[in-house]
């Protein structure tokens, strides 16, 4: 007998087997799992997840990873970590298959779209099939969660008590949205390259496929631009609170882009214009209407800086725009270039429209598709396909809905980041003065924000008039005015980012019913064991049966 569990009405989690006895949560009931003892619970929930009655799969010293061509690249990424955790050789070979092997195969019939995949685990091995390498990679992320959490370890000294077992299972999966993003604000506080790489690995576990880097703001310009060296020479000298500066060299940035690409994550660079530009203005007086460079800024106010729309500054400003966009686009293989556009409160409406036209034209001239925050929808001269990023609340206020649908009317699409549920810098409710001393996190977006609030929203119900096809995807930004270290960042991001990842990937229940938060909690407890093994300091929010 095989139990078929479709995400559209239920999902499965098996928690803490071997540690606290296996418990299977199935549509709200609990029952003992029928195969294997693994710690299981997939987030985001796969479209179809069947636990079968067969014997489980075990990684042994004999296990090889069988892969050819594009599949071999994905196999190597999986093997590199699995070798560290298991201490086994796990060679990647193109060979005949044995029962102890993990097979990765490109197969046009294994689903629809580049990110779809199927996964079969059991006593006769693991088989992941997908129409393209991206799907194979997401299949390995599901396998990562089916295996004991020790698979995340950075040394082989603590093997799991029950062995490297994955339960016998069958998965057929594909994402709901093409764009599933995490945004890091590296401008308010700089984040070193190694921490960004760690973040990429963690979001890939959740099948997020976009890393949006908010690279410039009033407090700092964090990416080297050869033609305008003082952007980082002066503009990267400090941060919010005067906590020290920092920037990415072009090689640093390329390293981030390559590490992300190996994990099928696309980097979206953001140069925030025409407001949020104090760092650039402090570096180059000729970009200021009065020709005087302001001091570097270390506060947390928004909306006081602007590029200059005056004709006297047009030559310098347009040269700046063209140089910056060209250099950023040259180092960015992905299709998107984010040009900001938010909170330009120090720019008159006429100047804003003029500058947005010039900014977006400079972005589009590089061949990239431009993305802007929803305020940019005020312009009716947006380049073809421009994407709007919505950041107002789950119930739109003022003109935010109409500014957002403007992108669709001009032939573009929308990424949804409703601030009251998807901004990961909002405080947790049970942590007003928590482990981080109350310094970390903001409240302005209807905060505090619970895990359940982050989980309980539906993308098609936010902006009236937006259909499923108008929505490119979903993104969870984390702004860092109050977040100074990687540990503080982890604490704010996890576990709420898991809720956003599920909204971005997993289908809505049949008939449009709400997602089942208690089922999510059970699977999150299982994911928590992986976060623990990764050494992530995350907020153990109430209501989740975390495994101690």
Q: Can you read off the two tokens belonging to residue 425?
A: 């810098």
Least separation in angstroms between residue 443's CB and ligand TNX is 9
Secondary element (H or E) of residue 329? helix 314-330
| Other C-beta atoms lying within 10 Å of the C-beta of residue 380 | 10
Distance, CA of 246 to CA of 221 (rounded, Å): 9
Residue of 479, 491, 505, 546 that binds ligand TNX (CB under 6 A): 479
Work out how close the CB of 478 gets to ligand TNX at its nearest, in angstroms, rounded to a whole number: 9
> How, if at all, do strands 210-214 and 179-185 pair?
parallel
Count of residues binding ligand TNX (CB under 6 A)? Answer: 11
Pick 342 or 519: Cβ nearer ligand TNX: 342
User: Which entry of 262, 343, 402, 452 is annotated as an active-site residue?
Assistant: 343
Instruction: Supply 431's token pair.
Output: 């942590």
Strands annotated E in 124-280: 125-130, 164-166, 169-173, 179-185, 210-214, 216-217, 220-221, 266-273
Q: Which residue is nearest to ligand TNX (CB)?
A: 479
CB 482 → ligand TNX: shortest distance, Å? 9
Q: Which is nearer to ligand TNX, 470 or 481 (CB)?
A: 481
Site track for ligand TNX across 388-427, x = CB under 6 A: ---x---------------------------x---x-x--
Q: In this complex, which beta carbon is closest to ligand TNX, that of residue 117 or of residue 428?
A: 428
In terms of CB distance, is 119 or 183 closer to ligand TNX?
A: 183
First to last CA, the chain: 33
Q: How far is the CB of 426 from ligand TNX (least distance, A)?
A: 7
**CB of 121 or CB of 442, closer to ligand TNX:** 442
Output 82 or 187, the one with its CB closest to ligand TNX: 187
CB-nearer residue toward ligand TNX: 217 or 502: 217
Of 413, 442, 450, 529, the one binding ligand TNX by CB under 6 A: 442
Q: Could you say which of 50, 343, 431, 532 contacts ligand TNX (CB under 6 A)?
A: 343
Crossing angle of the two packed helices 193-205 and 250-262, in degrees rounded to 10 = 20
CA dist., res. 143 & res. 165, Å (int): 11
- Look at the block and give the residue holding tokens 């907020």: 539
Phi, psi of 178 (to 5 degrees): -75, -30
Cβ 143 vs Cβ 134: under 8 Å? no
* CA 143 to each of CA 98, 165, 399: distance values in angstroms, whole numbers, following the listed order: 18, 11, 44
**Residue 481 Cβ vs ligand TNX, minimum distance, rounded to whole Å:** 6
Segment 99-118, which members bind ligand TNX (CB under 6 A)? none
Contact residue for ligand TNX among 342, 351, 354, 502 (CB under 6 A): 342
Nearest approach in angstroms of CB 298 to ligand TNX is 14
Instruction: Give the residue with the Cβ less far from ligand TNX, 5 or 401.
Output: 401
Question: Is the sign of the CA dihedral 286, 290, 296, 301 positive or negative?
Answer: negative
Peptide bond preceding 171 in cis form (omega within 30 of 0): no
Distance CA 517, CA 529 (A): 19
Measure the CA–CA gap between 179 and 200, rounded to whole angstroms.
Answer: 15
CB of 343 to ligand TNX, least distance (A): 5
Residue 373 CB, shortest distance to ligand TNX, in Å, is 5
Between strands 48-52 and 57-59, the pairing is: unpaired
- Residues from 243 through 302 that contact ligand TNX (CB under 6 A): 302
**Shorter beta-carbon distance to ligand TNX: residue 240 or 506:** 240
136 touches 130 (CB < 8 A): yes
Q: Residue 277, SS3?
A: coil
Residue 255: is the preceding peptide bond cis (ω within 30°)?
Answer: no
Task: Indicate which single residue of 221, 259, 373, 390 sits in contact with ligand TNX (rule: CB under 6 A).
Answer: 373
What would the two tokens of residue 324 be?
Answer: 């910056």
Q: How far is the CB of 523 from ligand TNX (least distance, A)?
A: 28
In whole angstroms, the minimum distance from the beta carbon of 425 to ligand TNX comes to 5
Q: Is 36 helix (H, G, I), strand (E, B) or coil?
A: coil
- Separation between Cα atoms, residue 483 and residue 295, nearest integer Å: 23
Active site (annotated) includes residue 343? yes
Give a three-class secondary structure readout of 479-546: CCCCCCCHHHHHHHHCCHHHHHHHHHHCCCCHHHCCCCHHHHHHHHHHHHHHHHHCCCCCCCCCCCCC
Task: Output 37 or 425, the one with its CB closest to ligand TNX.
Answer: 425
Instruction: Note whether 481 binds ligand TNX by CB under 6 A.
Output: yes
Binding site for ligand TNX (CB under 6 A): 302, 342-343, 373, 391, 419, 423, 425, 442, 479, 481
- Catalytic site residues? 343
């Amino acid at each position: 007998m095989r139990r078929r569990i479709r995400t559209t009405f239920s999902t499965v989690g098996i928690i803490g087997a071997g540690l606290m006895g296996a418990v299977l949560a199935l549509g709200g009931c609990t029952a003992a799992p029928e195969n294997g003892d693994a710690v299981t619970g997939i987030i985001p929930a796969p479209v179809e997840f069947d636990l079968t009655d067969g014997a489980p799969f075990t990684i042994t010293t004999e296990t090889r990873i069988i892969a050819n061509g594009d599949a071999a690249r994905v196999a190597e990424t999986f093997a590199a970590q699995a070798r560290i955790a298991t201490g086994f050789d796990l060679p990647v070979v193109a060979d005949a298959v044995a029962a102890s092997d993990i097979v990765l195969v490109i197969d046009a019939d294994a689903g629809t779209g580049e990110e779809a995949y199927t996964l079969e685990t059991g006593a006769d091995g693991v088989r992941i099939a997908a129409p393209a390498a991206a799907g194979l990679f997401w299949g390995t992320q599901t396998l990562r969660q089916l295996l004991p959490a020790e698979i995340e370890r950075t040394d082989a000294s603590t093997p799991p008590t029950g062995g490297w077992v994955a339960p016998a299972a069958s998965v057929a999966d594909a994402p709901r949205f093409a764009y599933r993003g995490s945004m890091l604000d590296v401008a308010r506080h700089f984040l070193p390259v190694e921490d960004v790489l760690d973040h990429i690995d963690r979001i890939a576990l959740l099948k997020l496929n976009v890393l949006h880097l908010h690279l410039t703001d009033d407090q700092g310009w964090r990416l080297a631009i050869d033609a305008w060296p003082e952007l980082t020479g002066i503009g990267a000298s400090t941060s919010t609170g005067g906590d020290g500066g920092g920037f990415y060299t072009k090689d640093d940035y390329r390293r981030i882009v390559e590490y992300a690409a190996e994990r099928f994550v696309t980097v979206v660079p953001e140069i925030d214009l025409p407001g949020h530009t104090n760092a650039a203005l402090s570096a180059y007086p000729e970009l200021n209407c009065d020709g005087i460079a302001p001091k570097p800024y270390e506060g947390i106010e928004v909306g006081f800086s602007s590029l200059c729309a005056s004709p006297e500054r047009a030559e310098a400003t347009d040269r700046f725009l063209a140089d910056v966009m060209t250099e950023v686009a040259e180092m960015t293989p992905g299709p998107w270039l984010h040009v900001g556009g938010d909170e330009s409160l120090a720019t008159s409406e006429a100047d804003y429209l003029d500058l947005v036209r010039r900014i977006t034209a400079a972005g589009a001239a590089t061949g990239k598709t431009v993305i802007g925050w929803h305020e940019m929808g005020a312009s009716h001269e947006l380049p073809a396909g421009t994407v709007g990023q919505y950041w107002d609340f789950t119930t739109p206020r003022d003109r935010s809905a109409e500014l957002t649908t403007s992108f669709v009317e001009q032939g573009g699409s929308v990424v949804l980041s409703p601030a009251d549920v998807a901004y990961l810098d909002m405080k947790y409710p049970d942590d007003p003065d928590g482990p981080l001393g109350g310094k970390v996190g903001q409240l302005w977006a209807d905060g505090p924000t619970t895990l359940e609030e982050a989980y309980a929203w539906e993308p098609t119900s936010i902006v009236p008039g937006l259909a499923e096809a108008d929505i490119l995807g979903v993104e969870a930004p984390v702004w860092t005015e109050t977040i100074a270290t990687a540990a503080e960042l982890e604490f704010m991001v996890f576990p709420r980012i898991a809720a956003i990842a599920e909204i971005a990937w997993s289908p809505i229940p049949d008939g449009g019913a709400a997602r089942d938060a208690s089922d999510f909690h059970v699977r999150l407890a299982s994911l928590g064991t992986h976060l623990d093994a990764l050494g992530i300091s995350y907020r153990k929010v109430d209501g989740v049966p975390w495994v101690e």
